[in-house]
Amino acid sequence: MNATSEPEPLQALNGLLARLREKVSLYRERLPEGPLRTMEDIGRLPFTTKEDFRANYPFGLFAVPRKDVVRLHMSSGTTGRPVVTGYTRHDLALWAECMGRVMEYAGVTSNDVVQNAYGYGLFTGGMGLHLGAEAVGATVVPTSSGVTQRQVMLMRDLGTTVLCCTPSYALVLAEALHASGGHLDTRLRVGIFGAEPWSDGMRRQIETRLDLEAFDIYGLTELGGPGVAAECSRHDGLHIFEDHFYAEVVDPDTGTPLQEGQPGELVLTSLRREASPVVRYRTRDRTVLTSEPCACGSPYRRFLRVQGRTDDMLVVRGENVFPSQIEELLAGFGGFNGQYILVIDRQAHALDTLEVVLEADTADEQGLEQEIRDRIRDSIGLRITAKVLRPGVLPRSEGKAKRVVDHREAPGGSGSPP
């Protein structure tokens, strides 16, 4: 696991800044003159935000002429214009290199059959994982997401050994596998899961139900998709591929760079991308950086599992909580099958309420509801109500799960604004 070391990060960064000043008007206006002397000087440069992408839609942030762009991907988000990212031929080669590394970290080789159930299309997941599987010479089965019964059939018939998809879809596939045939009877050994927050508790559930070793991978459209960071076999944080991406963690409120070990917002700079490079992109993802050496021997620093996005943090009666913290607690309850939603509401002139709605196989629903209420109050300090449903009732997700239903802002919703 050696870094491909050329060019050195500082040299790459200064080359990037010079290119951006020349080619991209937003950066020409914002970036100071002259090269940086150390990597840490990057903290003096301005941030790039999702709003910058939207304001420059579709090609305003591109650093090469459109004729040199051979691929576009994008993410829609919930509102507004999509975020567009472009790739030159060289960018695709770099992406394949990073994604090949993701596969190597998970121990995937040419002996493997990789079923890629990330969505193919504008989303970066499908094509990204596809590149990685091909880079290590595995046999790729590009199923894309959905058509769950066919996924299950192919998994058995083709002897799939590696499953790639979102963690929430992995749960759906596990359910379908167990429902058809009563026992697992697959050759699965590795799962490569990412694109949404998931707790360690969820990891244990998926690993047990699918009888595989689960690896967390991270990336985002603005940085070219998956392949920014990935877990190794130690499963103790995600190694950042620092020869391609420079990572900082900043205070989400002030933007001040934080020391390693302090939790904050991840900020990323792409060092080598040609078509859509970014400087100091504010991901809004919450994590912690560490340069403690990892037993796997990787030269790359790590960040801990991403808890969630700043915008997904729930603020209920003044308490801050990430859905993944609640998920982690739920995963400890026997009978819980991994399916849940969090419903937030506000009745007129009343405090916010949070109801945890989950599926569980239990004979004592009320007892379980009580236990969950107590556990969440004792661990997170949050008063909630719990509602246990029988398995199979909540909507299933083929991609990124929508875990939070917030009625507080609905016009004329269940509660009128106070």
Residue type, 387: K
Q: Is 150 exposed, middle or buried (0-12, 13-18, 19+ CB in 10 A)?
A: exposed
132 binds ligand DLL (CB under 6 A): no
In the complex, the smallest distance separating the C-beta of residue 70 from ligand DLL, rounded to whole angstroms, is 19
With CB under 6 A as the contact rule, the residue among 86, 100, 125, 252 that binds ligand DLL is 125
309 binds ligand DLL (CB under 6 A): yes
Spell out the long-range contacts of 179-183 with Cβ–Cβ below 8 A and sequence spacing 24 or more.
Answer: 180/149, 180/152, 181/156
Q: Residue 141: in which H helix or E strand, if any?
A: strand 139-141
With CB under 6 A as the contact rule, the residue among 124, 270, 276, 339 that binds ligand DLL is 124
* Structure tokens, 276: 């859509």
Whichever of 219 and 386 has its CB closer to ligand DLL, that residue is: 219
In the complex, the smallest distance separating the C-beta of residue 300 from ligand DLL, rounded to whole angstroms, is 16
Whichever of 226 and 264 has its CB closer to ligand DLL, that residue is: 226
* Structure tokens, 58: 């579709």
In 3D space, the residue among 100, 96, 23 whose CA is nearest the CA of residue 60 turns out to be 23
Assign 136 to helix, strand or coil: coil
Distance of CA 250 to the CA centre of its chain: 19
Q: Are strands 308-309 and 281-287 parallel, antiparallel or unpaired?
A: antiparallel
In the complex, the smallest distance separating the C-beta of residue 332 from ligand DLL, rounded to whole angstroms, is 20
22 to 61: interface string for ligand DLL, x by CB under 6 A: ----------------------------------------
Whichever of 298 and 353 has its CB closer to ligand DLL, that residue is: 298
Whichever of 48 and 124 has its CB closer to ligand DLL, that residue is: 124
Residue type, 32: P
Whichever of 217 and 341 has its CB closer to ligand DLL, that residue is: 217
Residue with the CB atom nearest ligand DLL in the bound state: 194
What 8-state DSSP symbol labels residue 312?
G
Residue type, 139: T
In the complex, the smallest distance separating the C-beta of residue 206 from ligand DLL, rounded to whole angstroms, is 13
> Are the beta carbons of 277 and 16 closer than 8 angstroms?
yes
> Are the beta carbons of 286 and 28 closer than 8 angstroms?
no
Residue type, 126: G
In the complex, the smallest distance separating the C-beta of residue 248 from ligand DLL, rounded to whole angstroms, is 15
> Which parts of 182-221 interact with ligand DLL (CB under 6 A)?
194-197, 216-221
Bond preceding residue 226 cis, omega within 30 of 0: no
In the complex, the smallest distance separating the C-beta of residue 131 from ligand DLL, rounded to whole angstroms, is 12
Whichever of 285 and 359 has its CB closer to ligand DLL, that residue is: 285
> Are the beta carbons of 140 and 126 closer than 8 angstroms?
no
In 3D space, the residue among 51, 96, 46 whose CA is nearest the CA of residue 70 turns out to be 96
With CB under 6 A as the rule, give the number of residues binding ligand DLL: 20
62 to 81: interface string for ligand DLL, x by CB under 6 A: -------------x------
What 8-state DSSP symbol labels residue 223?
G
269 to 298: interface string for ligand DLL, x by CB under 6 A: --------------x-x-------------
- CA–CA gap between residue 85 and residue 72 (Å, rounded): 6
Whichever of 62 and 95 has its CB closer to ligand DLL, that residue is: 95
Bridge partners, 316 (sequence order): 319
In the complex, the smallest distance separating the C-beta of residue 46 from ligand DLL, rounded to whole angstroms, is 20
306 binds ligand DLL (CB under 6 A): yes
* Contact set with ligand DLL (CB under 6 A): 75, 118, 124-125, 194-197, 216-221, 225-226, 283, 285, 306, 309
